[in-house]
Structure 1
Amino acid sequence: IREDKPIDETMNWTEETSNSEYGKSKYLAEMEVWRGIGEGLPAVIVNPVIILGTSDWNKGSTEIFKTAYNEFPWYTEGTTGFVDVKDVAKAMIALMNSDITAERFILSSENCMYKDIFTKIAIAFNKKPPHKKVTPFLANVVWRWEAIKGKLTGIAPLLTKETAKTAQTKAIFNNNKLNEYLPNFRYTSLDETIERICSELKDKYQF
């Protein structure tokens, strides 16, 4: 990811040692779809950013909500894109029902700093927002400590080398292309998504 320019659909994958295994798996899957398109398959590719939805908050991106609820005090200055799971489904259905093919689309409602999204969620839960900044140096110390602790206890680390790097990265996503092809499509605002998910999680976990 380059931090000097917005990320859009014209950017291509480059082999770098910093690439995550998750990212590599998604790239390889996308290459299979392009192969099918080359053989005549009518298809499009969607590249959603971090998807937010109501699910088990012990895993996946919904862990963000549990972390904020537990008043985790630390924040980073990284930035990334977020999108409502309902918008992902809505966009995919609209694309499937169209004549669009052989295109890829970034699905992103808004770009937001990690500090800001944790603060928004904490406030929605009436909890204390994060207030201690994690520097890159501290993040590197913590992921190494978590790795050692994980090997000794068998407990999955709270922070890994990959997540430590991601949390410091300033990634800005350009979402214009989808609206050029689907001019009537509208994303749910991040504030509205957070409000809905927090309400649903309160009902789910009875707090």
Structure 2
Amino acid sequence: MILVTGATGLVGSHLLVQLLQENEEVKALFRSDKQIEKVKNVFAFHNQTALFDKIHWAKGDITDIPSLEIAFENVTHVYHCAALISFDPSDEDELRKINIEGTANVVNCCIDFGIKKLCHVSSIAALGNPKEHETTITEETEWNPEELHSDYAITKYGAEMEVWRGHQEGLEVVIVNPGVIFGYGFPKKGSDVIIQSVKKGLSFYTKGNIGIISVEDVVKCMIQLMKSNVNGERYTLVGENISTKELLDFIAAELNVKKPSIEAKKPMMAIAWRLDWLISKIANRKRKLTRNTAIASYSRTTFDTFKIESELQITFQKKESYLKTILQAHK
């Protein structure tokens, strides 16, 4: 049996669909009943409602070891998709608890229960830092702890260290590092925030690059890697390296709304994230723009996917083939 953590999230829910389409027996870890309805909507989106009832649901939490141990019973393979995504510095403690400690718990259970293989969903945020004059990041690019990193990036890197620890103790592992993932079913979360911003009339853009990929491509790579003999490797998953402006313009055109027309240059972004900090303090709300996200918004780095494309002989979808479907739902 296969266990999927984070089963009620974007990657986890679409992974459930694909695994059940391949007649796998799947156990899904969930924390609250209200999240299950979102998974059901994802199955309906893929016209696979009949498969939804085949899921074995296990209520638990990766930070709660007793519930996690119960979920691991009779499991042979694990897809670890559970994580907290936040770029708000006030969430540092929760990021560490879920992303690092939670992953350590999953790894320990994999070892204790004799799991055959673990697939860990990381992020391009956990990849290394290009050296001066370098513009491309690969799986071999070294992480520089002296560089400025968001708490999210640090905790995803820390989670990978826990997976590698498990590998040193004999656990077969594979890690995937996806870019910004677009998929159906989770409004106002993750990449959908970008769509919502454009839909509401976003005026500003930056001249940075962004690595994007469809959730279907992410889960397809995960399943192929788990079924292969690959062990102790990680793979960058980015379908396209495009400019942020190109992405925003494409979304605006599909939604028939005005395209962003004002370039937010570095000095403007420096002022913006400071204002956001001040407003968040006064209004007691979550940060919408931080120093790290401001800097990332005009980064020109790109991500090399030669390793995954050559080993799996895979061709990633372009935004025209999957974003149009997602944006149609927004209309």
Distance in 2 of aligned mates of 1:39 and 1:157: 39
Match of 1:156 in 2: 286
Amino acid in structure 2 at the alignment position of 1:111: N
Any idea what the Cα deviations from partners look like across 1:89-118, whole Å, max 9, x if unmatched? 110001001111111100010001111101
Query: Structure 1: which amino acid aligns with 2:241?
Result: N
* Deviation larger for 46-55 or 117-126: 46-55
Deviations 1:27-71 (A, max 9, x none): 011111111111221111111111111233322221010011112
Quick check: 2:135–2:300 contact (8 Å CA) kept in 1? no
Q: 2:315 aligns with which of 186, 191, 205?
A: 186
Q: Is the 8 A contact 1:81 1:171 kept in 2?
A: no
User: What does residue 205 of structure 1 align with?
Assistant: none
SS state at 1:104 partner: strand
Q: How does 1:51-70 map to 2 (within 5 A)?
A: 51-70=181-200
Provide the C-alpha distance between the structure 2 equivalents of 1:9 and 1:46, rounded to a whole number of angstroms: 10
Is the Cα–Cα contact under 8 Å of residues 209 and 298 in structure 2 kept in the other structure?
Answer: yes
Shift of 1:169: 1.0
Larger radius of gyration: 2
| Ranges in structure 2 where 5+ consecutive residues have no aligned partner | 1-128
Residue 213 of structure 2 is aligned to residue 83 of structure 1? yes
* Letter aligned with residue 174 of structure 1: D
Change (3 A) 1:134 1:120: same
Q: Is the 8 Å Cα contact of residues 276 and 289 (structure 2) preserved in structure 1?
A: yes
Give the CA RMSD over aligned residues: 1.3
Report deviation, 1:156. Answer: 2.6
Q: When the two structures are superposed, what TM-score results if normalisation uses the length of structure 2?
A: 0.59
What is the identity, as a one-letter code, of the residue corresponding to 2:329? E
CA contact (8 A) 1:9 1:106 kept: yes
Task: Please say if residues 269 and 294 of structure 2, whose CA atoms lie closer than 8 Å, have aligned partners that are also in contact.
Answer: yes
Q: Distance in 1 between matches of 2:143 and 2:292?
A: 17
Q: Which residue of 2 aligns with 1:99?
A: 229
Q: Show the counterpart of 1:145.
A: 275
Out of 48-57 and 95-104, give the one that drifted further: 48-57
Per the TM alignment, residue 143 of structure 1 is displaced from its structure 2 partner at its CA by 0.8
SS of the residue corresponding to residue 257 of structure 2 reads: coil
Is residue 36 of structure 1 aligned with residue 178 of structure 2? Answer: no
Which letter maps to 1:186? T
Letter of the 2:278 partner, please give it: I
For 1:160 and 1:20, how far apart are their aligned partners in 2? 9
CA distance in 1, matches of 2:311, 2:329: 32
Which runs of no fewer than 5 residues in structure 1 stay unpaired?
Answer: 203-207
Task: Check conservation: 2:178, 2:236, Cα contact below 8 A.
Answer: yes
Q: Deviations over 1:148-172 (max 9, x none)?
A: 1111112333322121111011120
2:327 corresponds to which of 174, 198, 203: 198
Greater Cα shift, 4-13 or 169-178: 4-13
The answer as to whether partners of 1:146 and 1:158 remain within 8 angstroms in 2 is: yes
Corresponding residue of 2:302: 172
Per-residue CA deviation, residues 140-193 of structure 1 (Å, 9 max, x unaligned), is 10111111111111233332212111101112000110022111x221112222
> Percent identity at matched positions?
33
Select the structure with the greater relative contact order (CA < 8 A; seq sep ≥ 6).
1
Letter in 1 for 2:318: S
